[in-house]
């Protein structure tokens, strides 16, 4: 059973437990409270990206940030993502600011690099 199959199996167990209603009784599956299974589901999902930065949390629980600066003689920028706590970081990515969305595209590349590094799968 792989990760996705384990998540699907657990989701079905929880869904079935939700359909059985015993008033004032905690829902269980084989006498194990349902919230245990929900914790397992959460672990199987893994870390989720921050809604603002799009970066998943660092393995040390630090909150990664983007770092960018001007680079070279022409309108270009370099950027990486780094954890302020353990200083894990991505490679440096570069872009010429030739279009309005160049900075956005660069940030997405850095985000994908960080999230891949942290094991996040879309
Ligand atoms: Zn860290």
Question: Predicted confidence band at 97 (pLDDT cuts at 50, 70, 90)?
Answer: confident
11/22 same-domain check:
yes
94/107 same-domain check:
yes
Q: What is the pTM of this model?
A: 0.69
Give the distance (Å) from ligand 1 centre to CA of residue 68.
18
36/72 same-domain check:
no
35/92 same-domain check:
no
Give the distance (Å) from ligand 1 centre to CA of residue 43.
19
Question: Predicted confidence band at 19 (pLDDT cuts at 50, 70, 90)?
Answer: low
79/100 same-domain check:
yes
Give the distance (Å) from ligand 1 centre to CA of residue 84.
7
63/28 same-domain check:
no
CB 107 within 8 A of CB 33: no
pLDDT 10s digits, 39-79:
888 888 777 899 999 999 999 999 999 999 988 878 899 99
Q: Residue 3: name the closest of 37, 45, 42, 49 by CA.
A: 45
| Chain mean position to CA 54 | 8
pLDDT of residue 30: 81
pLDDT of residue 58: 94
H or E stretch at 93: strand 93-96
**How far apart, in whole angstroms, are the C-alpha atoms of residue 101 and residue 92?**
19
96/56 same-domain check:
yes
Instruction: Please give the residue range of the domain that contains residue 22.
Output: 3-45
100/69 same-domain check:
yes
Tally the domains of the chain: 2
Question: Predicted confidence band at 3 (pLDDT cuts at 50, 70, 90)?
Answer: confident
Q: What three-state secondary structure class fits 5?
A: helix
């Amino acid at each position: 059973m792989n990760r996705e199959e384990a998540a699907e199996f657990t989701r079905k167990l929880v869904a079935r437990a939700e359909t059985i209603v015993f008033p004032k009784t905690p829902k269980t599956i084989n006498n194990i409270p349902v919230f245990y299974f929900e914790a397992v589901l959460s672990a199987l999902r893994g870390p989720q990206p921050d809604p603002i930065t799009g970066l998943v949390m660092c393995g040390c629980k630090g909150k990664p940030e983007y770092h960018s600066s001007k680079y070279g003689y022409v309108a270009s920028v370099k950027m990486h993502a780094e954890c302020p706590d353990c200083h894990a970081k991505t490679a440096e990515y570069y872009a010429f600011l030739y279009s309005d969305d160049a900075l956005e595209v660069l940030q997405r590349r850095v985000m994908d690099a960080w999230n891949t590094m942290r094991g996040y799968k879309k």
